[in-house]
Amino acid sequence: MSYVFAERVSYMESSAIREILKVTEQPEVISFAGGLPAPELFPLAEIRESYGQVLGAGDPSVLQYSTTEGFLPLRVNIAANMKKKGIEVGPGNILLTNGSQQGLDLLTKLFINPGDFIIVEDPTYLGALQTFRSYQARFVTVPTDSEGIDLEALKFAIKQYHPKMIYLTPTFKNPTGVTFSTRRRQEIASLLSQYNIPLIEDDAYGELHYSGSSLPPIKSFDQQERGIYLGTFSKTVAPGLRLGWVVASEEMVAKLVLAKQGTDLHTGTILQRATHYYLENFDVQKHLDALRSEYKSRRDLMLAEMRTNFPSQIHWTEPEGGMFVWVTLPDPLDSVNLLRQAVEAKVAYVPGVPFYANGGGNNTLRLNFSNSSPAQIKEGIERLGRIFTIQ
Amino acid sequence: MSYVFAERVSYMESSAIREILKVTEQPEVISFAGGLPAPELFPLAEIRESYGQVLGAGDPSVLQYSTTEGFLPLRVNIAANMKKKGIEVGPGNILLTNGSQQGLDLLTKLFINPGDFIIVEDPTYLGALQTFRSYQARFVTVPTDSEGIDLEALKFAIKQYHPKMIYLTPTFKNPTGVTFSTRRRQEIASLLSQYNIPLIEDDAYGELHYSGSSLPPIKSFDQQERGIYLGTFSKTVAPGLRLGWVVASEEMVAKLVLAKQGTDLHTGTILQRATHYYLENFDVQKHLDALRSEYKSRRDLMLAEMRTNFPSQIHWTEPEGGMFVWVTLPDPLDSVNLLRQAVEAKVAYVPGVPFYANGGGNNTLRLNFSNSSPAQIKEGIERLGRIFTIQ
């Protein structure tokens, strides 16, 4: 039977992220493709203890329906953490979501009519583009300089296209790993105070800094509640939990609650209770320090191996945090074409094209360093070096 | 700041279900309002053991990203259970969702353009109406007779309105508790084979039968894969898990996967693994038998108390399963107005109005019997009887 789908379905594409996961299932492939954390660093024993405690306390309400906003003590915990980042909010400003991807979905549902414009960086997180497209958004891409998104170009895009949302990933961004300067963050917040446009600040990687401390979020400079901050436990605790949060004005949270009610009623009760137990009863900072230390050494190794094995015409970012290195090949090399050779040589990456909202980036690609062992990084970069050298 | 929301936001209303949960938080109120299972019957120890086992097996992949379709062994388990109901499917026909509410959301996302018609029963599940409205659907309501939805009216509605979906809850439906006959199910499947319209069959309550066995789903008579079946663990295991499933053609599942990727990437890995462990290692049938036995006695008690305490002009359904009794007051009594008196007398129900897609039902209301103790049922029905008697 041939179904008659809604118009928006023609804008949905299979996600490169998810399709790539299929390639990486072959154990002999060294994959720098996915955006996966290192599973051997997951706090498995602590999460087990947390579930055991909340399920063992004799309180069956951990398995009952609960409120759409989310478990209040967990929202209190998150609000306190937001304050440490300079974001002055209370639990009424927090909505728990099934990963920050659901935050993106709910916000797009609230703001985007078909054909509306969203301002995005170029390149940007492809999972966000996928969500935005499913609501038939159009994109205005704004270039970045060494300090972050170009302010004049941003201002021009706002005036020219009257966008309904701005989506930025200012810290160790997926896919390039680069970070906006503190000054640029302040300037963006200041610019936004002149326009009635919500800014979505996706901070999935902010805790994964490998030198110094993390920079203040744009939302910490936001005096008029135009900023919407997306956080997640996927990179700091574990992605298989599927737990994230939105920080926004109470008015906005009320609308998000309405949207979430129709979407899935609420996020899992036991999941929220167990995560709250974990945050309150274990040394999260120590766990983060261990993550940073290990990811830093993997980043350093990958960069060192790239310097040794890649020809000099190839350039790449040297990110101070996050999980990714962004590679630019000399024109006219095409990273999609080269991926076939790479997969034959049992090494994988993500071509840059899907990260560009309106096309381009054919000579770019993303490498993940968090999910591979040092031996895999060494061997995988050597394999890639051979492929890039013979072109 | 005043936000500029998308058009669909004006169609989102605060859910009566969720708002009611706030009233029931006052411990002195006897609430027949929510659709909550009895928490004292949750298999708390077994769920605890299941989480402990999957988190204690030393496999960190239980906390990693996983596929959008869902954990394969759980889909195999569900497919085998579907076969027992006469629905011949494999794991490729199953998508795991965050409760069946997410199934409704994803299907509406796939099929509904603003202004499209959906055929619904009158009354029907108000959570479905809320989801459908968030995509700006319009409704065609079709009446039911003693065997289920009226076939001639259904046929007429299909021809007249060219609906994009049909949504039915044929078994112990929320809110009325009534059930379609086997013959009517066959006739609906046969009728659908003539039209290219997906039928969503929401079977949240099918396992909760208090006499005989459950009737075959409409989808078991569906030769051409037009039927889409929604199942959930919310009523049989626990709603706080937030775990349900969609059964559909493989083509449809592929589209649902695309929609779910943009919505939340996938359902929680550990949740799926632990639920699978529970289903494979504990006596689920015995648990269901205990649920049925207890809910049956609560239903019997509520009906007996209604016969004793309610004036003779009031009528109600006598459901053979599920969680609800549907009450019809004599005109012109208005259940919304009477709710104020009820809440003053510390007893709550849901007025019938929100279950009617296009208005009506002012003299109807829904009573839940699963979430109250026998003593609460006795006392609460007496209180309601006094209110209804003095009108």
| Interface with chain A: mutation pick from B134, B265, B276, highest number of A CBs within 10 Å | B265
Contact: B18, A42; criterion CB under 8 Å: no
Contact: B98, A224; criterion CB under 8 Å: no
CA of residue A382 relative to chain centroid, distance: 28
Structure token digits, residue B137: 């659907």
Query: Which one, of B262, B193, B354, lies nearest residue A126 by Cα?
Result: B262
**Do A325 and A250 share a domain, yes or no?**
no
Nearest to B134 among A5, A64, A262 (CB): A262
Calculate how close chain B gets to A59, using CA atoms only, in Å: 9
User: Cβ distance B272 to B243 under 8 Å?
Assistant: yes
End-to-end CA distance of chain A: 47
pLDDT per residue as tens digits for the range B239-278: 999 999 999 999 999 999 999 999 999 999 999 999 999 9
Calculate how close chain A gets to B330, using CA atoms only, in Å: 33
**Domain range for A138:** 59-281
CA dist., res. B347 & res. B20, Å (int): 12
Within-domain flag for B117? yes
Phi, psi dihedral angles at A328 (to 5 degrees): -115, 120
Within-domain flag for A230? yes
**Do B275 and B340 share a domain, yes or no?**
no
CA dist., res. B344 & res. A342, Å (int): 71
Q: Which CATH number fits the domain that encloses residue A191?
A: 3.40.640.10
A90: CB partners within 8 A, 6+ apart:
A79
Q: What is the 3-state secondary structure (H, E, C) of A293-331?
A: HHHHHHHHHHHHHHHHHCCCCCEECCCCECCEEEEECCC
**Do A251 and A369 share a domain, yes or no?**
no
Structure token digits, residue A278: 């974990």
Averaged pLDDT score across all residues of chain B: 94
**Do A290 and A276 share a domain, yes or no?**
no
**Do B302 and B318 share a domain, yes or no?**
yes
Q: Which amino acid is at B83?
A: K
CA dist., res. A279 & res. A54, Å (int): 13
Q: Which of B281, B300, B328 is the last residue of a domain?
A: B281
**Do A188 and A123 share a domain, yes or no?**
yes
Calculate how close chain A gets to B131, using CA atoms only, in Å: 4
The C-alpha angle with vertex B98 and arms to B97 and B102, in degrees rounded to 5, equals 75
Kindly list the residues from chain A whose CB atom is less than 8 angstroms away from the CB atom of residue B113. 6-8
Contact: B63, A40; criterion CB under 8 Å: no
Kindly list the residues from chain B whose CB atom is less than 8 angstroms away from the CB atom of residue A134. 109, 259, 262
Residue of chain A whose Cα is closest to the Cα of B262:
A131
CA dist., res. A192 & res. A296, Å (int): 34
Nearest to B5 among A13, A110, A238 (CB): A110
**Do B261 and B293 share a domain, yes or no?**
no
**Do A157 and A198 share a domain, yes or no?**
yes
Structure token digits, residue A1: 């039977």
User: Is pTM beyond 0.80 here?
Assistant: yes
Q: What's the number of domains chain B is made of?
A: 2
Residue of chain A whose Cα is closest to the Cα of B256:
A9
Within-domain flag for B382? yes
Q: Which of B248, B281, B314 is the last residue of a domain?
A: B281
Calculate how close chain B gets to A251, using CA atoms only, in Å: 9
Burial call B13-52: b when 16+ CB within 10 Å, e when fewer: bebbbbebbeebeeeebbbbbbbbbbbebbbbebbbbbbb
Kindly list the residues from chain A whose CB atom is less than 8 angstroms away from the CB atom of residue B14. 258, 261
Query: Which one, of B240, B244, B249, B144, lies nearest residue B202 by Cα?
Result: B244
Calculate how close chain B gets to A329, using CA atoms only, in Å: 30
pLDDT > 90: what percent of chain B? 86
Contact: A240, B64; criterion CB under 8 Å: yes
What is the secondary structure of B187-254 as a DSSP string?
HHHHHHTTS---EEEE-TTTT-BSSS-PPPPGGGG-SSS-EEEEEESTTTT-GGG--EEEE--HHHHH
Contact: B130, A262; criterion CB under 8 Å: yes
Within-domain flag for A314? yes
- Are β-strands A144-145 and A148-149 bridged in parallel, bridged antiparallel, or unpaired? antiparallel
Residue of chain A whose Cα is closest to the Cα of B61:
A39
Bridge partners, residue B309, by sequence: none
Q: Which of B241, B261, B281 is the last residue of a domain?
A: B281
Q: Tell me the count of A-B CB pairs closer than 8 A.
A: 269
User: Cβ distance A150 to A144 under 8 Å?
Assistant: yes
Residue of chain A whose Cα is closest to the Cα of B109:
A6
Within-domain flag for B2? no
Q: Give pLDDT, residue B14.
A: 66
User: Cβ distance A124 to A167 under 8 Å?
Assistant: yes
Structure token digits, residue B111: 């099929």
Query: Checking phi first, is residue B377 left (phi over 0); if not, alpha (psi -120 to 50) or beta?
Result: alpha
Kindly list the residues from chain B whose CB atom is less than 8 angstroms away from the CB atom of residue A238. 63-64
Kindly list the residues from chain B whose CB atom is less than 8 angstroms away from the CB atom of residue A269. 240-242
Kindly list the residues from chain A whose CB atom is less than 8 angstroms away from the CB atom of residue B48. 51-52, 55-56
Contact: A51, B56; criterion CB under 8 Å: no
Distances from the Cα of B257 to the Cα of A262, B92, B106, B261, angstroms: 19, 11, 9, 6
Nearest to B241 among A112, A116, A270 (CB): A270
User: Cβ distance A299 to A326 under 8 Å?
Assistant: no
The alpha helices in chain A, defined as continuous H runs, are 16-24, 44-56, 72-84, 99-111, 126-134, 151-161, 182-192, 250-264, 269-281, 284-309, 335-344, 374-389
Calculate how close chain B gets to A88, using CA atoms only, in Å: 17
B347: CB partners within 8 A, 6+ apart:
B29, B30, B31, B32, B380, B383, B384, B387
Averaged pLDDT, groups of 10, chain B, 391 residues long: 85 65 75 94 98 97 95 98 96 98 98 97 95 97 93 96 97 94 96 91 96 89 89 96 97 95 96 98 97 98 98 96 97 89 91 93 96 97 94 75
CA dist., res. A163 & res. A145, Å (int): 21
Kindly list the residues from chain B whose CB atom is less than 8 angstroms away from the CB atom of residue A225. 1
**Do B351 and B368 share a domain, yes or no?**
yes
Calculate how close chain A gets to B311, using CA atoms only, in Å: 34
Q: ipTM value of the model?
A: 0.95
Burial call A251-282: b when 16+ CB within 10 Å, e when fewer: ebbebbbbbbbbbbbbbbbbbbbbbbbbbeeb
Nearest to B255 among A9, A60, A242 (CB): A9
Given a cut of 50, the residues of chain A with pLDDT beneath it are 17
Calculate how close chain B gets to A267, using CA atoms only, in Å: 7
**Do B222 and B299 share a domain, yes or no?**
no
Residues in chain B, total: 391
**Do A242 and A289 share a domain, yes or no?**
no
Calculate how close chain B gets to A24, using CA atoms only, in Å: 12
Q: What percent of chain A is helix, strand and coil (3-state, nearest 5)?
A: 45, 15, 40
Q: Give pLDDT, residue B19.
A: 62
Kindly list the residues from chain B whose CB atom is less than 8 angstroms away from the CB atom of residue A13. 258
Contact: A111, B5; criterion CB under 8 Å: yes
Residues in chain A, total: 391
Contact: B109, A134; criterion CB under 8 Å: yes
Nearest to B196 among A1, A13, A61 (CB): A1
Burial call B252-279: b when 16+ CB within 10 Å, e when fewer: bbebbbbbbbbbbbbbbbbbbbbbbbbb
Structure token digits, residue B93: 């026909």
CA dist., res. B144 & res. A145, Å (int): 64
Distances from the Cα of B297 to the Cα of A28, A63, A202, A262, B96, angstroms: 59, 23, 51, 33, 33
Structure token digits, residue B95: 């998508």
Contact: A4, B65; criterion CB under 8 Å: no
Structure token digits, residue B202: 């929401």
**Do A15 and A118 share a domain, yes or no?**
no
A74: CB partners within 8 A, 6+ apart:
A96, A272, A273, A275, A276, A279
The C-alpha angle with vertex B259 and arms to B256 and B263, in degrees rounded to 5, equals 130
Q: Which CATH number fits the domain that encloses residue B348?
A: 3.90.1150.10
Nearest to A40 among B60, B98, B242 (CB): B60
Say how many C-beta atoms besides its own lie within 10 A of residue B115's C-beta: 10
Within-domain flag for B335? yes
Residue of chain B whose Cα is closest to the Cα of A226:
B1
CA dist., res. B349 & res. B347, Å (int): 7
Within-domain flag for A212? yes
| Interface with chain A: mutation pick from B126, B195, B235, B264, highest number of A CBs within 10 Å | B264
Calculate how close chain B gets to A3, using CA atoms only, in Å: 7
pLDDT per residue as tens digits for the range B26-72: 788 999 998 899 999 999 999 999 999 999 999 999 999 999 999 99
